[in-house]
Structure 1
Amino acid sequence: MDAFAELGLERRLEWSGEALRAAFREAGKTRHPDGGGTVEGFERLQQALACLIDPGARLRHWLELEGREGELRGAVGPGVMDFFSSIGPVLQEADGLLKEREGAQSQLARALLEPRIQECREKLEGIQEQLDVAREERESRFPEVERGELDGWTVARELAFFGKWSAQIRAKFAAMW
C-alpha cells in the first residue's frame, strides 16, 4: 500500500498533522461506507493516516517506497545514546516510586511519597520536552533526506528510539497519577 496515494497526497516527507487529517477527511467523504465507499477501502484509508501521522513511520514508509536500501537496526548518532543515559535512571526512579506507593499501607505513607512522585513527574516532563526538541530537529532534516544528502535510515532509527522512549515516559507519567 502507498499511504500517500491512499490519502491523495504527493509523496514527500514534510506533511503537517493538520494537512494529513484534512486529506483523510476529504478522502473519507467518498471512501467511508456511508459515503458510498467500502469497509475495506475506509480501513485502508485509516491505515494510511496512522502510517503517515507518525513522522518516523512516514519516513520509513517513504524510504521503502523510494527503494532506499537500509535497516531500522543499526547505528544512531551519539546524541541519541546520551538520551538513554538520562532516561533510564528516571524511568527506574519512577518504577521504584510506583512500587513504594503500591506497598504503602496507609494514606499517610502515600501522602509522604507525593513530593518525591511530583519531583519525578517533573523530571519525566523535562526529558519529554528534550525528546520533543530532538524529534523536531530530526524532522526538520527531512528535506536533506529527500535530496539524498542525509541517510534517512539513520534518522528513522533515531525517531524510532524517540518514539519508544516517549511512550515509556507517557506510561510512567500516567501511572504516577
Structure 2
Amino acid sequence: MSPFATFSLPPSLLVDEDQLQNLYRDLAAQHHPDKGGERSTFDQINRAYQTLKSPSKRLQAYMEATNIEFDSRGAVSNHLMDLFMQVGSLLQNTDAFIRKKSSANSALAKALLEPESMHLQDQLTLLIHSVESSLNTLTETLSESPPPETLPQTFRDLSFLEKWHAQLQQRYGALF
C-alpha cells in the first residue's frame, strides 16, 4: 500500500507536516498492538509516516504512485559538488580526530585535544546549517510544480543531502 493511501492522502510532492503528524498520532493510537491492533498494520503506519516525513522518500513514493520512471542511482547535481567535497573532507578529518581521541590514554592527552574538538564542532555546525539550507531550498522547489522529468534528479539530490545531514550530525555527536 502506498504511504499516501495509508493516511488517505492524495499523492503529493509536499505534505502539511502538522496534518501528517496528527493523522499518524490518530492511526497509531487506533492500531497500536497494546490496544488490540495488528502489529503488521501498526508497522505499516510507522513505515508510511517515516516515508512521508522524509522529502526524498516522499518524492520517491510520489514518483512510484504517479508512474514516473526513475533510477535511484546516479550522481549529485553539479551545483551540489562543492558541498559534497566539503562534507567528504570534514567527515574524513572528523573520523581521523575521533580515532586520535580514542587512542589518547591520559586526561592530559584528552585535554590537549579539546581545542581541535571545538574547532571541528564549529566546522560541523556550519556545514550542517549549509546542508539544511540546501535541503530547504530544494524542498521548496517542489512547491513550484516542477516538470516531471526533473524529479528523478531532485530525488537523488535530496537523498544525498539527507544522508550527508545524518552523517554530519552523527559525527558531531561522536565528538562528545
Structure-1-length-normalised TM-score: 0.91
1:176 maps to: 175
- Answer yes or no: is 1:97 the counterpart of 2:97: yes
Q: Partner of 1:48: helix, strand, or coil?
A: helix
Query: For residues 103-146 of structure 1, what are the alpha-carbon distances to aligned partners after superposition, in whole Å with 9 as ceiling and x for unaligned?
Result: 212111110110111110110110010000000111111134x4
Report the Cα distance in structure 1 between the residues aligned to 2:109 and 2:29, rounded to whole angstroms. 55
Query: For residues 18-59 of structure 1, what are the alpha-carbon distances to aligned partners after superposition, in whole Å with 9 as ceiling and x for unaligned?
Result: 221111112234333455542222221111101111111000
Structure 1 residue ranges without an equivalent (≥5): none
Structure 2 vs 1, CA of residues 15 and 165 (structure 1 numbering), >3 Å: closer, same or farther? same
Contact preservation (8 Å) 1:8, 1:27: no
Contact preservation (8 Å) 1:9, 1:23: no
Structure-2-length-normalised TM-score: 0.91
- Answer yes or no: is 1:142 the counterpart of 2:167: no
- Answer yes or no: is 1:122 the counterpart of 2:105: no
Deviation, 1:67, is 0.4
Query: For residues 78-110 of structure 1, what are the alpha-carbon distances to aligned partners after superposition, in whole Å with 9 as ceiling and x for unaligned?
Result: 121111111122111111211211121211111
Contact preservation (8 Å) 1:72, 1:157: yes
- When the two structures are aligned, how many residues end up with a matched partner? 176
Contact preservation (8 Å) 1:101, 1:113: yes
Q: Partner of 1:151: helix, strand, or coil?
A: helix
1:39 maps to: 39
| RMSD of Structure 2 on Structure 1 (CA) | 1.7
Structure 2 residue ranges without an equivalent (≥5): none
Report the Cα distance in structure 2 between the residues aligned to 1:51 and 1:164, rounded to whole angstroms. 14
Deviation, 1:76, is 3.1
Give the share of equivalent positions with the same residue, in percent.
28
